[in-house]
Amino acid sequence: MMHNTDGQSEPVNLVSPALQSHLDQFREQVSATGATMELVARSPDAVRHAVLARASAKRPILIAEPRYLSPDYFRPLRLEEGVLANPNAADCRSAPVGVTEAFAAVVRTGSVCVDIGAGIAGYVSLLPRLHIVVVDIDRLVFRAADIFRLEQFARPAFQRNFVFISGPSATADMGPLVRGVHGPHEIHIVVLC
């Protein structure tokens, strides 16, 4: 049994001790960046449940089609009321929640890597105040440099346009550290396991 950030037990697969140590470090780093994370089972319903729980009553929820995860994961979510996969400019401007996948996550920095080179992921991960990002535990790498080195990330699709997201947008320019500037104020990472 694994535990999510709220300490609730979740029905997810057991992970190896080595992976567990990476996960612990990832969780610690994610928290240091000001983001949150939880582990959920690899199932479309679990993804839907995790997203809706985190979004609570906020609508609309923008959703960017996954390119690396199976589209099945977002399918039940798309059927929900107030979830938009083809938003117009006004929706993009005002939607409070955006959901994207990440093609990788970085243990040492608590980052997720989001492809912004196609579709609307660039907007969905940027304009809403809450960004929920879904990543498979298999895509955990240790260092940021691994993204440029490991064979699995060397495919052109990954190479074109992406962003390491390490916590919500933030500034120290106005005196104290403030989280939430031009990008999301909150980031929640859903790790499929």
Least separation in angstroms between CB 26 and other proteins:
11
The whole-angstrom separation of Cα 59 and Cα 150 is 38
Tell me which residues in 77-116 interact with other proteins (CB under 8 A). Answer: 89, 92-93, 106, 108-111, 116
165 binds other proteins (CB under 8 A): yes
DSSP state of 37: E
Residue 5 structure tokens? 């950030």
150 binds other proteins (CB under 8 A): no
89 Cβ contact list (under 8 Å, min separation 6): none
144 binds other proteins (CB under 8 A): yes
Residue 80 structure tokens? 């929900």
Least separation in angstroms between CB 85 and other proteins:
14
Task: Determine which residue in the list 60, 76, 122, 128 makes contact with other proteins, applying CB under 8 A.
Answer: 122
Task: Determine which residue in the list 72, 143, 152, 155 makes contact with other proteins, applying CB under 8 A.
Answer: 143
Binding mask 47-76 for other proteins (x = CB under 8 A): ------------------------------
The DSSP result for 144-160, as a single string, is TTHHHHSGGG-SHHHHS
> Please, which residues bridge with residue 186 across strands?
130
Residue environment code for 160-182, b if the CB has 16+ CB neighbours within 10 A, otherwise e: eebbebbbbbbeeeeeeeebeee
132 binds other proteins (CB under 8 A): no
ω into 71 cis (within 30 of 0): no
Least separation in angstroms between CB 146 and other proteins:
8
DSSP state of 74: G
Contact residues for other proteins (CB under 8 A)?
29, 32-33, 89, 92-93, 106, 108-111, 116-120, 122-123, 126, 143-145, 147-149, 159-178, 180-184
